Amino acid sequence: MDLPDLVVPVREAKLNQQLRYALRSWAKNLPHGRVWLVGYRPYWVAGVNHISTTQAGRTKYANTTAAVRAVCEHPEVSDPWILLNDDFFVMTAVEQVPALHRGRVVDVERYYAARASGSYLDGMRATRARLAELGHPDPLSYELHVPMQIGKAGMLAALDAGRDLAVVHKRTLYGNLAGLGGAQIDDVKILHRSHKFPADSPFLSTMPDSFTRGKVGELIRRKFPQPCPYELRGIR
């Protein structure tokens, strides 16, 4: 059986050092077929496929949803494929991407509601309501900063089911409609430079500040010092 392709939506950015080190981590630790960048392709990237998309949505959520749909409709991308962000790092060797979730959406919703409001929380509530309408009254949240394996038909069905939502939590919609199940973990996103993190975690994700100035960024750069096949040699 062929290995699944890796797919990462990329916003326009001149350098994107997080993507550089993410690619190094995937090349070393995540068995895969091809790598696809969707949206922007940095000048220093080599040996990857590219799907150009117009990043003209009113929000970043609309842009990533358009990118995921473009991937599912592309005949050359493997089925299934693996969804990543450009700040996802695979820190230890894994044979395949596990199904992972964050627990019940209502519990995750309660966590966010105690801290902030906004479109992300609104989208979480709208996605939970839509899943209830579709026969999933107590859905799981798949909004984790870890790789996720995606089946094309299942994701297209999920995107169609949430087409009218202003902000759709597409990983959660897909995971529940596809019946992924999986193991529960805490999210691995390291939000700021002083954020404590498990150094032995197989997956980590960063923000620009935590990557550039935090201990987690130091760990990632120390772990993957050598260029990988997805970088033009001599180009920084």
> Could you tell me if residue 152 is inside a domain?
yes
The pLDDT of residue 162 is 97
Torsion of CA 16, 22, 26, 32, to 10 degrees: -50
Using DSSP, state whether 89 is helix, strand or coil: strand
Please tell me the pTM assigned to this model.
0.94
Burial 25-51 (b: 16+ CB within 10 A, else e): bbbebbebebbbbbbbebebbeeeeeb
Report the candidate in 227, 187, 229, 233 with the shortest Cα–Cα distance to residue 87: 187
Alpha-carbon distance of 53 to 102, in angstroms, equals 30
The pLDDT of residue 37 is 97
What is the domain extent for residue 15? 5-223
Alpha-carbon distance of 39 to 222, in angstroms, equals 29
The pLDDT of residue 13 is 74
Torsion of CA 105, 108, 114, 120, to 10 degrees: -80
> Could you tell me if residue 219 is inside a domain?
yes
For residues 59 and 119, is the Cβ–Cβ distance under 8 A?
A: yes
Over the chain (236 residues), the average pLDDT of each successive run of 10 is 93 87 98 96 96 73 90 98 98 97 97 88 97 98 98 98 96 98 97 89 96 96 97 77
Report the candidate in 4, 23, 15 with the shortest Cα–Cα distance to residue 86: 23
The pLDDT of residue 106 is 97
> Could you tell me if residue 189 is inside a domain?
yes
> Could you tell me if residue 55 is inside a domain?
yes
Using DSSP, state whether 189 is helix, strand or coil: strand
> Could you tell me if residue 235 is inside a domain?
no
Retrieve residue 105's tokens.
């959406």
> Could you tell me if residue 176 is inside a domain?
yes
> Could you tell me if residue 231 is inside a domain?
no
pLDDT digits (tens, 9 = 90+) for 182-194: 999 999 999 999 8
The count of structural domains within the chain is 1
> Could you tell me if residue 75 is inside a domain?
yes
Tally of CB atoms within 10 A around 4: 22
The pLDDT of residue 55 is 63
CATH number, residue 116: 3.90.550
